[in-house]
Amino acid sequence: METLKEATGAVNMPVPSRLLKQWSISLVLMVCVVLAFFDKISIAVLFSDPVFQEAMGIGTDKTQLGWLMTSFLLAYGFSSIFLSGAGDLINPRTCLLVSVGSWGILMALMGLATSYEQLLALRVLLGIAEGPLFALAYSIVKQCYSAGQQARASTMFLLGTPIGAALGFPITALILNLYGWQMTFFVMAALTLVTLAVVYFGLKGIHLNAETRQSGGRKRVGWRQHLRNSRLLFTTPAFWALCLFNVALLTYLWGLNGWLPSYLIEEKGVDLESFGALSSLPFIAMLTGEIAGAFLSDKTGRRAAQVFGGLLVAGLSLYLVLQLEAAVPAILVMSVSAMSWGFGVSSVFALLARITPAEVSATAGGIFNGFGNFAGAAAPVLMGYIVTQTGDFNLGLLFLVWVAVIGSLMLVPLVRKY
C-alpha cells in the first residue's frame, strides 16, 4: 500500500558534514523554544504584582488577568494551524528570523503599554507571531536530519519547553523585584536580539528546500502543488489519528503542569518547601524520559509503538497515584507517569515525519501543534471545573487518566506499520 510520503516523493536535503555543526542546528532551535517559553509564561509572574495591576487599571480582577494568558494561547493555536504553511513556501530560516524578530518588537511595546487593552492586543499579536515556531522547527529538523536521527534532533528542541518554563519564572521574578514590571518586558526584548544572532549565524549556510532545487532536479513546491499535497495530507487517516493523539498528549502535559502543586498540597498533604527537590521529581523524570526515549527511538525505529506505550503507561501510572495515600509513594509513582510521558513524546515528531511528506512538513506540523495546544490550554480549566463542581481533586486527575488511555488507543492502527 502506497504511503503518503511515497505518493509525493521524499526530499533528501544536504546534511552538514561536521558532527558539531549538524547537531548545532537543533541547539539553535532549542534556544528559540526557550525564549518563546520565557515570553509565554513571564506574564504570569506579574499577576501578583500590585504595581502592574494598578498600571493596567484592573486591580485584582483575576478574570482579566487570566485573559492575558488565554488570549495568547488562543491566538497561538490559530496561528499554528493557519500560518505555519508559509514554511513550506518560504525559506523556513527566513520565516524563523522574521518570527523571532517580531517577538522582540512586541515585548518592547508591552513594556511601553499604558492600558490593559493595549497589553491584551499585544499578547494576541505575540501568540500569532509565536504560533508557527514548532512547525518551522519540525520542518528544519526533517530536512537536516536523517530518519535515524530525527527523534534525537526533535527532542533537543523540545527540551526548550521545560527548560524555558524552569528558568522563566525565577528570572522574571528577580527582574520584577529589582527593577519593576516594565523591565521584565525590556529584558525579554533584549534576549530576542541575542536569539536572532544565534538563529542567523547558527543556520547560516544550511540549505533548506525553499532556496534550493529538490532532488532529481525538480523545482521547489509552488502554491498549486502545495495545495495538492495538502489535500492528500488532509485525507490521510494516519495523520489525523496522530493529531488526535497529540490532543491527549498535551492535555496530560498542561493538566499536570497546571494542577500538580495544588494536588500534592491539598490532596496528599505535601509541604512543598519541606520536600524541596522531591516535589520537582516528576519533572526531572519527564526530562530523563525524553532523553532516553530519543536515543531508543532512533536505534529501534519503532516510533508508533514507543509513542503509544509512553502515553498508555503514563495514564495507567497516574491512576495508581489516586490509590495511594502517602505523599512520598504518590510522588514516586507520579514520576514514573511523567517519565513515561517523556519517553513517548520524544518520538512523536519523528513519527509525524514518517507519516507526512517533506513538501508539507510545516503545514502538517502547524495543524498537529495547533490542535494540541488548543486542547492543552483548555485542560487546566476543565480540571478546575471538575474539582469545583465535585469537590474531589482525584476526579480531576482521573480525567487525565481517561484522556491518556483513550488518546493512546488512537495509535493502535499505526503500531505495526510505523
Q: What string of pLDDT tens digits covers the 418 residues of the chain?
A: 344 444 434 344 444 445 566 678 888 998 998 898 787 767 767 877 889 888 888 876 666 776 787 778 778 878 877 776 666 667 788 889 999 999 999 999 999 999 999 999 999 999 899 988 887 887 788 778 877 777 788 778 777 876 776 677 678 878 888 999 999 999 999 999 999 999 999 888 776 654 434 434 444 555 555 556 566 667 678 888 888 898 899 888 877 766 676 677 677 777 655 555 566 678 778 888 888 888 888 888 788 899 999 999 999 999 999 888 888 888 889 889 989 998 998 888 788 878 876 666 666 777 777 778 777 767 777 777 787 788 888 888 899 999 999 999 988 988 888 8
Q: Which of 192, 220, 248 is a domain's end point?
A: 220
Residues 203 and 82 reside in one and the same domain: yes
The structure's pTM equals: 0.67
Q: What CATH number is given to the structural domain containing 126?
A: 1.20.1250.20
Q: Which of 220, 255, 286 is a domain's end point?
A: 220
Structural domain boundaries enclosing 300: 236-414
From the list 374, 333, 360, the residue with the least C-alpha distance to 142 is: 360
Ranges of beta strands (E only) in 189-326 are none
CA distance 5 to 360: 10
Residues 248 and 199 reside in one and the same domain: no
Structural domain contains residue 351: yes
Task: Tell me what pLDDT residue 407 has.
Answer: 92
Structural domain contains residue 5: no
Q: Which of 188, 220, 252 is a domain's end point?
A: 220
Structural domain contains residue 225: no
End-to-end CA distance of the chain: 13
Q: Which three cell numbers stand for residue 166?
A: 524552569
Q: Can you tell me which residue has the cell 542546528? A: 25
Residues 211 and 264 reside in one and the same domain: no
Residues 80 and 143 reside in one and the same domain: yes
Domain count, the chain: 2
Structural domain contains residue 4: no
Task: Tell me what pLDDT residue 299 has.
Answer: 82
Structural domain contains residue 226: no
